[in-house]
Structure formats: structure tokens, C-alpha cells
Amino acid sequence: MKRCHSGRFWLRLTLWAHAISMLGFYFVIWRRAKPPAARPIQDKASPPAGGVSVAIIVPARNEERNIRRCVTSLLEQETADKERYEALVVDDASTDGTGRILEEMTHSHPHGDRLRTLRLETLPAGWAGKPHALHAGVQQTQSDWLLFTDADTWHAPQALHAALTQASGDNIDLFSFGTAQELPGFWERVLMPLAYLGISMQYPPKLVNDPTSHVAIANGQYLLIRRSVYEALGGYARPDLRGTLLDDRDLARLVKQHGYRLRFVDGRDLVRVRMYRGLGETWRGWRKNVFLGSRGGLAFVLLQLIGLPMVTLAPFLLPLALLFSKMRRALRLSSREACAAALLELAPPLAYRWWEDRALEVPWYYAFTHPLAGALFAGILAQSAWQVLSGKGVDWRGRRYYGNGQVQEQEPNKEMV
């Protein structure tokens, strides 16, 4: 009898400890995830006597479905009198209609004279595709600033002026916008909020912007850097950056390590992006970098594989077990206690997801897909870790990366989950 009472005591304690920990976990994540607000544009920076120039470099590999929208928005930027820019699209051996669309735009768009293209045919040994494309683009320009952006982005007309004003006014060396995510599909709406949870947990914006903190990240969808800083650091030609699949994070880390100023702010009203379409593309996109992007290495990845079900699945399953099974009677919980425990389990993840979904413009009822997102992301993380650690490599954009600079070209139909 005494053993029975002791077991029941520990089970009750575990239940309440888990319920209370859910409240603490999601509160901490919410505090870490709150982005710094984008400040109003203020022309407080005095431009250099000769003005300021920007080279917008867009790496593009098989981007025919995105490139027209992206480049059109870049060619229509509204800048101040002494702000000059050009857009350089680096066509990284595309096999679709990307090159044809770019050629047509140079002739048909009213500002086609601002657009240049660079065609790459091969990927040198030791390089990943995107760092090589960005490096090749930089070599073709002579600007004061470099803006790296992705082919699946759309830029509001005032975006470049806003970024230049804030970066110049505050003497920032690397300036990056957090972008608005376009999520019209079911699977993107399920998975993207949880992806943001993981990023903000490991890279809180407040720490990223704190010069005394070693935490550093930037958003490769909008990364503005002074050319002098980029060249002083060696840029993507550095041996430790050539093969990276985390080009934005690793460049930001390098910038901060060398004492330059980094700023990451909310730019959702200025830049939008459609990253993935459907479950397969979303899975592959996160699989390529979710393990490599983990700050804590293998130990933290293992902790995540255990923790993900605990913070996404358990808060939804335990209330069902308490209210609709023999578990409540076995623990001798009153109806009031069971309801209180169920509320403590459910309220924090639902509240967090409602907040995150609202920020991402996702309908509120997707909060109830949180357990599904947790299960899927656990699978993505496990597969990502296995592919990297086993030497099988990770695939993206028709190439498989094995590490140590080894890259294998793939047929398009082999990019499968």
C-alpha cells in the first residue's frame, strides 16, 4: 500500500511539474522571440559628398517562377538623390527559363539599364553554390555597400532607402531585415511558426543586436554590408566560408567576432518572401541546415529530439488522458485538479502559437496543428542529423553537399524527401 501511494505521489508530481514547465518554457520563448521594432525612416545620416552606391546581388539557380517578381521590385526602388544602385543577378548554371526571363527584362523594363546578369557554368571545388555565386557577383561590382538578397523575395519601393538610412545613421556594418513570410499553403502554415520558435530560441534578436554577446545571425534574404568590411574579412572567399550552407549566419558571426557592428531588425513591412511550396520542398529546405544551424552541436540536437515531443505533443495528449481516460482516477485527481492541469498544459503552447501565427499572418486555428508541426520537425531534425553525421550529405537545388568541399551535381528529379 505504501509503495502504491509513493508511486502515485511521484506521478502527480511529474504531471504538475510538466504542466508548470510548459508555462515557463513558452513564456521564455516568447520573451526571446520578440523582434526589435523597425524604427521610422529618418534622414539623419549625411551622405558622403559623392553619394553612396549599392550593388544588389541576387544568386539565382532555377528560379523562373520567382525571378521576375523579385527583379521587378528591385528595379523599382525609390532612392534619395545621392543614392545609386544596380542589380546584379548571378545565374548559377540554371537549366530552366531564368536566363531567358532576365534577358527579356533588361530590354523590356523601363529601368532595365540598372540590371546586369552574370552567368556561371561550373562550381569550383571547395565551394557551396550560394557563397560562390555571391563571391562572383561581388567581384563584378565597385559599390560602397553590398546587398545580398534571394530570388524569392519582393521588396517594397522604400526598402533600400530605409535600410541605407538606418545602417548609415547608426554606423552599422552589417544590417539585416527580418522579412515577412508568404504562407498560402497548408504545410507552410503548419511548419513555419515552429521553425521560427527554434530560431528565436537559439538566436534571440536582443542578443544578436547586443555587441557584448557572441550570438550572431543575419537573414540572407536581406543582408546589407559595407564593402570595406566585407573585403577586410575576406568575404566568402575565406576558406571557412566557401563551403558553408549557412552563409548568412556564418558571415554575421565573422562580422561580430571581429568587432564590427551588427543590427537585425523587423522589416516585415518592407520585404516579403515565399520560401517554400508544399511539404516536400519545406522538408528539404529545413533539412539542409537545421542540424548544421544548431548552436549546441550534437548534444543539443539530441536534447531537441527529446524535447520537441515534450513541448509540442505532450501538452495536447496529457489533457486528453486526464479528462477522458482512467488516468485521472488512477492519480485520484479531482475534476477541478484535472481541468487546472489540462489548462496549464494547453494554454501556453496555444497562446504562443496564436501570437506567432498572427505575426506570420497565419489563421488562428492553425495553432491546433502545433503537435503535427512538432512531429514533422522532429523527423526533419533527425534526418538532417543522420545525413550529415553518416556522410550521406544534404541536397539542395540539384546539388548534394558532403562537407570538406565535396559537391555532387544531381538530376532535378532526385531531389526527393
Supply the pLDDT for residue 291: 86
- Indicate the SS3 state at residue 204: coil
pLDDT for 65 beyond 50: yes
Neighbours of 179 (CB within 10 A): 23
pLDDT for 259 beyond 80: yes
pTM of the shown model: 0.89
Distance between CA atoms of residues 220 and 228, nearest Å: 19
Q: Which stretches of 76-225 are DSSP H helices?
A: 98-108, 129-139, 159-169, 186-202, 205-208
**Candidate from 36-50, 72-86, 269-283, 292-306 with smallest mean pLDDT:** 36-50
Buried b (16+ CB within 10 A) or exposed e, 368-381: ebbbbbbebbbebb
DSSP string across 211-228 = TT-------TTEEEEEHH
Provide the grid cell at 217. 545571425
Supply the pLDDT for residue 304: 86
Supply the pLDDT for residue 325: 63
pLDDT for 407 beyond 80: no
pLDDT for 308 beyond 70: yes
pLDDT tier, 350 (very low <50, low <70, confident <90, very high otherwise): very high
**Which whole number is the average pLDDT over 112-126?**
93
pLDDT for 326 beyond 70: no
Which architecture, in CATH terms, is 52-179+219-275?
Answer: Alpha-Beta Complex (3.90)
Distance between CA atoms of residues 182 and 27, nearest Å: 26
pLDDT for 229 beyond 90: yes
Domain with CATH 3.90.550.10 in the chain: 52-179+219-275
Supply the pLDDT for residue 388: 85
pLDDT for 343 beyond 80: yes
pLDDT for 44 beyond 50: no
Distance between CA atoms of residues 357 and 183, nearest Å: 10
pLDDT tier, 294 (very low <50, low <70, confident <90, very high otherwise): confident
Provide the grid cell at 125. 571545388
pLDDT tier, 200 (very low <50, low <70, confident <90, very high otherwise): confident
- C-alpha 323 chain-centroid distance: 38
**Which whole number is the average pLDDT over 66-90?**
94
pLDDT tier, 39 (very low <50, low <70, confident <90, very high otherwise): low
More confident residue, 298 or 102: 102
Those residues with Cβ within 8 angstroms of residue 52's Cβ, 6 or more apart along the chain or in another chain: 82, 83, 84, 144, 145, 164, 168
Distance between CA atoms of residues 166 and 267, nearest Å: 12
pLDDT for 163 beyond 90: yes
Which H or E run includes 349? helix 335-359
- Write down the mean pLDDT value for the chain: 87
